[in-house]
Chain A
């Protein structure tokens, strides 16, 4: 029962954060012609995505209850992907 309540609470949070991302867009913060506002919205929306992903991985994928090494394995893949993306994008700036 404890897990059921936990899963349900996380589901509600995930739906809420997704809605928040859309709300940020609807409020006009994603304004391509106003760089300051746009990049703030950019940061907020991506942070929300990372938070959501962390919730799913931690609780729905049970990383919370696995040995820490499994988390490192997954983060290893993520690090590789981010290293490629970041360095490649930086190389043409």
Chain B
């Protein structure tokens, strides 16, 4: 998409359908996320209704056993993955840049790609229903039920691939948010002073970055079990391996889900009590502690497995321990209410409701954190009830958010009476649904039948389920009607709101602020770019009074003043805010090839060329990914699936080339708080953040190998599972090749510094050749091992021969895939180097080098572990 078409003044308005396919603006993406998440809420909710109908009486036969299993599994997966987290991501997309004083996220196209990958992953899930049945092994996807032996239908494989695509979306989003929040905060906004919601999102994306990488490893292995026949989870210790990988993700996921709700609750408590959160510093510290602790409690989900007693005891202690910082947060919120003057608006009611539900969920969770009690409760409806009090309690906080920010997102107020009706129905329905499950706790989980004595409790629960479901009809009606006829609001309809989004118009203009936001004077002010570039600080120009930590309230008057300084008459981007000056510089921070000179024609916010806001390629790439994954899911069946794979692969290639070739300009702020990553440009930090996630992905693979080897006997493994022909030499040769290729990359940097075009081209070409040599050597080695013929391995040593061959081929295969990606990047870079691209600016070579050297480092561990030891 050229700048002229969609990047500058011609950016389509929100009334245009085209806008929603090309937009890269964070507010648009936030709205897309929010609406899509609500769609999946309805889908998951309908499945829940079906389950409650089935459970009206024992032995009812509304659903077959298989259909019930599918409904349970799909409900859990859709709600946990496709509803709750993306719903919070919607708010985060819309609000975090506004709260921290940024024009947009650091990588707008990556943000759009994240959304489209999320949407298409959900559509992939829906497609699985039409492939002979969807996944039916429970939302925890326990092995061996998740294996093709027990789940031969293609739909089961499709769901695994859908989850992989979903995690790709999450990872892109996490990298983007971390880079943005560390590098693009308004002047004077310290990390510790982030508004509570932004702070909760910061911690959420940190947890996401690592937790989802572990799940990605588990799912990639599971996909390989379905598609290639590797044998991880069916091997000795395999089922335990799945639970380790899954719950290493699964437990942090509880806090990933709950943290945004906690942030919203804190914001709402402040706004609707007129009281700064009591003990804010300790509240934030407690959140950080919980985020860290969440990674060391996962084995409390595994007390009934064969893990040793010492580690069960250790994990019981860490689990009980995590309740302490949560207690602090709960008391902080309660004391905030006591000290403040409460106004019972709909957002506050939902926030208070969320707090009550979470207290019940937390207390009942302590039972499950104690080893002995867990022996009794595990696998019963006690867990179902506790889990829903925590997770849906989190969702309750998110519904507070939708009412709280609805006026900001739409410019109109919802109907307060209907909002309260929604809350009343919701809260009553919720408790009618889930509290009886504590009483009927002896009901076995995931089973469509139960003891007749529990019938009345289940009937109450089913009634509650329908009341809860009906409450959403009120919400949708309220929000839909208010969108058209609600009372128009100005910047700030809430008397004591404190954060920066409330000082700009509702909805905010395309580039958010009427100048460069600054907190250097202790309060939010806006400055023109020339002032900043002239003296490095500029004069304070009070334009609103939100403090960075919610400590001071706005009166709305000054906020209006700020709004009036904006020259943007529209809020949907149809006409852009003009900066006060031309000139200025910016860096290209989105992957692509744009240069400031090539970008746009007008002036960006604060000077310089226009920032771009539109690209069609994220949609194309993700649609291609959808086709490819759908094809791969049934590739063993051939036919149409093969064709889909081919078409998807081809379109993917076109999409990535288009994405990389597109001119897309994103300015980095010239004045911003960047601690602790000052001096590390956005792209570099983004790359490092991605690599930190990739460490966990490879860690999951290498850790799986080590775990299975321990489970099967370290020495026994070597004697029984590995052929004599598996020798050190090919690994050593590949080590030499990769090290030499890394050296060649740093030589290309040296050549760029010396302004040697030929040197850059030659060294990058040598890198490419060495990488190809690596793959050829690996291919020859694999070919040799495939056709080994000995007494122990008469049919060769292929991917499915045993657990050792599976771990070897899959782990080195993943590494090889990384090498292939690097080689493709080089094929793009070498012709550009030939045209002299990197002589003035070698940063692209450096970013590529970070990736390539990381791949090299991984091999430095694969070599000894798989070839020597």
Contacts and interface: CB of A to CB of B under 8 A. Distances in A.
Partners in one complex: yes
Interface of A: 3-4, 7-8, 11, 14-15, 18-19, 21-22, 24-26, 30, 32-33, 41-42, 45-46, 48-49, 52-53, 56-57, 60-62, 66-67, 69-70, 73-74, 76-78, 80-85, 87-93
Contacts of A66: 679-680
Given A30-B868, A73-B689, A67 B706 contact: no
Given A4-B750, A91-B307, A67 B864 contact: no
Interface stretch (B150-158, B260-268, B853-861): B853-861
Interface of B: 210, 213-214, 237, 240-241, 244-245, 248, 295-296, 299, 302, 306-308, 311, 676-680, 685, 688-689, 691-696, 698-700, 702-703, 706-707, 710-711, 715, 718-719, 728-729, 732, 735-736, 739-740, 742-743, 745-747, 750, 753, 846, 849-850, 853-854, 856-857, 860-861, 863-864, 868-869
Given A45-B864, A56-B853, A89-B707, A74 B311 contact: no
Contact of B237 (A22, A33, A92): A92
Given A45-B868, A88-B703, A67 B311 contact: no
A4 to B, nearest CB: 5
B244 A91 contact: yes
A67 B680 contact: yes
- A contact patch SS: helix
A32 B698 contact: no
A6 to B, nearest CB: 9
Given A22-B868, A32-B715, A78-B699, A93 B853 contact: no
Contacts of B707: 85, 88-89, 92
B462 to A, nearest CB: 39
Contact of A92 (B700, B710, B728, B856): B710
A62 B746 CA distance: 10
B353 to A, nearest CB: 34
B841 to A, nearest CB: 16
Contacts of A69: 676-677
Contacts of A91: 240, 244, 299, 302, 307-308, 311
A62 B846 contact: yes
A56 B210 contact: no
Contacts of A56: 742, 853, 856-857, 860
13 contacts: A7-B747, A11-B739, A11-B740, A18-B732, A32-B719, A57-B853, A60-B853, A60-B856, A80-B696, A80-B699, A81-B700, A91-B307, A93-B710
A60 B849 contact: yes
A32 B718 contact: yes
A7 B677 contact: no
B691 A60 contact: no
Given A32-B715, A81-B700, A92-B711, A7 B857 contact: no
B868 A7 contact: no
B318 to A, nearest CB: 10
Given A67-B680, A84-B244, A91-B308, A77 B210 contact: yes
A14 B736 CA distance: 9
A84 B849 CA distance: 28
A81 B702 CA distance: 9
A70 B864 contact: no
Contacts of A74: 688, 691-692, 695
Given A61-B853, A78-B695, 18 more contacts: A3-B753, A22-B729, A32-B715, A41-B869, A48-B864, A56-B860, A60-B849, A61-B854, A67-B679, A76-B210, A78-B699, A80-B210, A84-B244, A85-B699, A87-B296, A87-B299, A88-B707, A92-B707
Contact of B857 (A26, A53, A90): A53
A22 B719 contact: no
B689 A90 contact: no
A81 to B, nearest CB: 2
Contacts of B702: 81, 85
B699 A81 contact: yes
Contact of A15 (B693, B736, B863): B736
Residue with the greatest number of chain B CB neighbours at <10 A, chosen from A24, A45, A48 = A45
